[in-house]
Amino acid sequence: MDTHIIERLSEMIADGEMKAKYVNVESEHSAMSVCLGAQATGVRTFTSSSSQGLALMYEMLYIVSGMRLPVVMVTVNRSLSAPLNIWNDWSDSFGARDSGWIQLYCESAQEAFDTVIQAYKIAENEKVSLPVMVCIDGFFLSHVYEPVDIAEKAKVMKFLPKYAGRAIDFKEPISQGMWAGPDHYQEFKIEQHEAMRWAREAIRETNAEFKEIFGRSYGNGLIETYNMENAKYALVTMGSLAGTAKHVIREKKIEDMGLIRVKSFRPFPMTEIKKAIKGIHSIGVLEKDISPGMGGALCYEIRGLTRKTNVSTFIGGLGGRDVKIDDFLKIFRDIRQERRGLIWV
Amino acid sequence: MGLKNEKKGAASEPAKGCEACALFFQGSTNCSGCPETIAVRAILGVAGKNTVVVNATSCLEIVSSQFPNTSWGVNYIHGAFENAAAIAAGVSLALEKQGRTGNVIAIAGDGGTLDIGLQALSGMLERGEKVCYICLDNEAYMNTGVQRSSATPFRASTTTSPAGRIIPGNVTWKKPIVEIVAAHHVPYVATASVGYIDDLRAKVAKALKKENQPSFIHVLNPCPLGWRFDAWRTVEIGRLAVETGMWMLYEIENGKMRVTRDVVERKPVEEYLKAQGRFSHLFKPENKHIIKQIQEHVDSEWERLKKRCKE
């Protein structure tokens, strides 16, 4: 889980490999609060959390975003209690969907590594100035070893120069985190929403720039498509599920089924997805979350983008249940048959 | 986004000879007789311009930071209710990382310190971060309408611990926050009152000394609205609290406790209680025994404190 991330960071700092202040806080709420204070003073910050810890942090997520502080965190996606369960699904970060954080979901360990570097550049973009949450599937990405190309420091420094954003100055003091009445509150929210629009541009640009320096990119930064060229049907999903979907499509030589992996859940890439699903007969959305009384949150976002095409929700993998190759084959069949409503995997 | 702290209009011009007025401007929206401006100016007068104030959600925050205006002539950060200590820790560490020096002062109310903020405070103290934490204690949640907190005195009437026929006011004694903080073995812990500004200033100066951080000052802030006394009596009530022994002025420096203002002949607690509407029900015949109970409690606390000073 997130513990691995912060353990390795503490080792790197203890050995002097990384020059940073490391704070062993007493709670996730305080973790985000320390980030708030440090970022508002004018330094880069990072934290990582999961599940109940992220839930405890919710209050501060909204405040950090509302204060327009470019904090970066990794969320290792895990289910929420009850029942208590430590395994993977997206309940934790989906709950924080409307907190004003940019949310980027990764498919592989390499992508997680690369996205953290990109996240600072996106967050600190002058027109954006919003926090970024890099989301990775618990266990599937956090506990499985895979080779990762660690970027050279010089290249990273070229891509991401020293922090030059907002900082406090004793000569010209500023007030941060003020309260706003009905006359002003809405304007703050309008600006936050506008910043999310700019974030779409920033994510795309950053992905392209990253490719120039490091030779790797992830779709257009917002979404990635696979086998969509001749596809009649499409599966929409996020995170590590996309890896399995690609494998099944490739290995089983499936021609009529394409994959759209949504990397950026917020800001939501409406235009890009609309373009990708043009001419598709039937769409299935596979997701690891449930909004009880409604269904899958991702599915309803997709449904809002098309009036003509059937969009079915496939909810599975909750609490860490494996979504296997056979499950994918069944999902593909259901999509072709335009099976409607909520389908449990 | 950050709002540049500028004085606006003639009303914000600092009074002559009042340096602290340039650090906390005139024109905040607090109630008349509010002790918080007095306390904040005393604190900033000592701390000076090279200061970052981290404020918990509280009366002080509400009266001083309504967008697009600010009362602050120093850097100011407000985050949430329960985490002033953690945010201040972040500020302090960031300044250290940047190689800058400055005072980091967290200011929170009694709710933000003794109740919801206790965990973050304990974490900051335990980690030994360079933060001077000041609790401005008005003994209830005043900004939301005088609800009881764990700092509310025994039998005080609030909107959630009313003076009822069966239950005559708040049922618990005040949480001993100073001793809880001192148990973290921090170098400097003190109590103060807006009734004794020189004492408060001296304590802020000590608390801000580099070797004394983290530090904690618990300031009694008599609230005309919630305690129900006339607005012009704020300082007088702050003194009466000390003169009756309802509030003790002391400090604990490196474990050594010292009374900073000894009261040789304490006035009866009755004088303090009768000056405030929140205790008026105690003067009904059926509640007279409570006053005796409070007097006994104060006497035993003084005994305990004096003994502790000799340790």
User: Which CATH number fits the domain that encloses residue A52?
Assistant: 3.40.50.970
Same domain, A52 and A190: yes
Q: Is A38 in Cβ contact with B3 (below 8 Å)?
A: no
pLDDT at B2: 63
Answer yes or no: is the ipTM higher than 0.85. Answer: yes
Of the three residues A167, A182, A214, the one that is the final residue of a domain is: A214
pLDDT at A3: 78
**Region B248-259 average pLDDT:** 96
Same domain, A117 and A230: no
Of the three residues A214, A237, A262, the one that is the final residue of a domain is: A214
Are the CB atoms for A200 and A263 separated by under 8 Å?
Answer: no
Q: B128, B120, B76: which is closest to B102 by C-alpha?
A: B76
Between residues A74 and B210, the one the model is more confident about: A74
Rounded Cα gap, residues A135 and A115, in angstroms: 10
Of the three residues A184, A214, A244, the one that is the final residue of a domain is: A214
Residue B208, pLDDT above cutoff 70: yes
pLDDT at B10: 46
pLDDT at B4: 74
Between residues B12 and B210, the one the model is more confident about: B210
Rounded Cα gap, residues B115 and A316, in angstroms: 41
How does DSSP classify residue B143? T
- The full set of domains in chain B, from first to last, is 10-310 (3.40.50.970)
Q: Is B76 in Cβ contact with A176 (below 8 Å)?
A: yes
Strands in B132-137's sheet, in edge-to-edge order, are B3-4, A174-176, B75-78, B51-55, B103-109, B132-137, B215-220, B188-193, B250-253, B256-259
pLDDT at B21: 85
| CB-CB neighbors (< 8 A) of A23 in chain B | 89-90, 93, 127
pLDDT at B9: 52
Rounded Cα gap, residues B111 and B62, in angstroms: 14
Report residue A344 CA to chain centroid gap.
24
pLDDT at B210: 85
Same domain, A144 and A106: yes
| CB-CB neighbors (< 8 A) of A42 in chain B | 94, 98
Q: What burial letters (b/e) apply to A318-337, b meaning 16+ CB within 10 Å?
A: bbbeebeeebbeebbebbee
Tracing tokens 């269904």 back to the chain, one arrives at A295
Same domain, A137 and A233: no
Q: What is the pLDDT of residues B59-93, one digit of tens each?
A: 999 999 999 999 999 999 999 999 999 999 999 99
CATH assignment at residue A256: 3.40.50.920
Mean pLDDT across chain B: 94
Instruction: Quickly count: other Cβ atoms within 10 Å of residue A265's Cβ.
Output: 24
Q: Which domain holds residue A19?
A: 2-214
Same domain, A209 and A228: no
| Band (B18; pLDDT cuts 50, 70, 90) | confident
| pLDDT in single tens digits along all 345 residues of chain A | 567 899 999 999 999 999 999 999 999 999 999 999 999 999 999 999 999 999 999 999 999 999 999 999 999 999 999 999 999 999 999 999 999 999 999 999 999 999 999 999 999 999 999 999 999 999 999 988 899 999 999 999 999 999 999 999 999 999 999 999 999 999 999 999 999 999 999 999 999 999 999 999 999 999 999 999 999 999 999 999 999 999 999 999 999 999 999 999 999 999 999 999 999 999 999 999 999 999 999 999 999 999 889 999 999 999 999 999 999 999 999 999 999 989 999
Same domain, A114 and A176: yes
Rounded Cα gap, residues A131 and A39, in angstroms: 10
Q: Is A34 in Cβ contact with B3 (below 8 Å)?
A: no
Same domain, A96 and A66: yes
| CB-CB neighbors (< 8 A) of B98 in chain A | 41-43, 167
Q: What is the pLDDT of residues A3-41, one digit of tens each?
A: 789 999 999 999 999 999 999 999 999 999 999 999 999
Name the amino acid, one letter, at B18. C
SS3 A207: helix
Q: Is A33 in Cβ contact with B80 (below 8 Å)?
A: yes
Are the CB atoms for B189 and B252 separated by under 8 Å?
Answer: yes
- Who contacts A292 (Cβ-Cβ below 8 Å, separation ≥6)? none
Note the residue count of chain B. 311
Say what the pTM is. 0.96
Same domain, A196 and A237: no
pLDDT at B311: 84
Same domain, A165 and A294: no
| CB-CB neighbors (< 8 A) of B85 in chain A | 30
How does DSSP classify residue B211? G
**Region B254-268 average pLDDT:** 95
- The chain A residue lying nearest B48, using CA atoms, is A170
- Who contacts B1 (Cβ-Cβ below 8 Å, separation ≥6)? A67, A68, A129, A166, A176
pLDDT at B91: 98
Q: Is B50 in Cβ contact with A170 (below 8 Å)?
A: yes
How does DSSP classify residue A281? S
Same domain, A208 and A255: no
Rounded Cα gap, residues B271 and B244, in angstroms: 7
Interface residue of A24, A26, A28, A34 to substitute, partner B, most B CBs within 10 Å: A34
Same domain, A227 and A158: no
Positions of E strands within B79-214: 103-109, 132-137, 188-193
Same domain, A292 and A191: no
Tracing tokens 């499950």 back to the chain, one arrives at A327
**Region B287-302 average pLDDT:** 97
- Shortest distance, CA B66 to any CA of chain A (angstroms): 5
- Alpha-carbon Rg for chain A, nearest whole angstrom, is 20
Q: Is B119 in Cβ contact with A27 (below 8 Å)?
A: yes
pLDDT at B123: 98
What's the total number of domains in chain A? Answer: 2
- Who contacts A280 (Cβ-Cβ below 8 Å, separation ≥6)? A231, A232, A233, A234, A258, A309
Torsion of CA B290, B292, B294, B295, to 10 degrees: 170
Q: Is B66 in Cβ contact with A178 (below 8 Å)?
A: yes
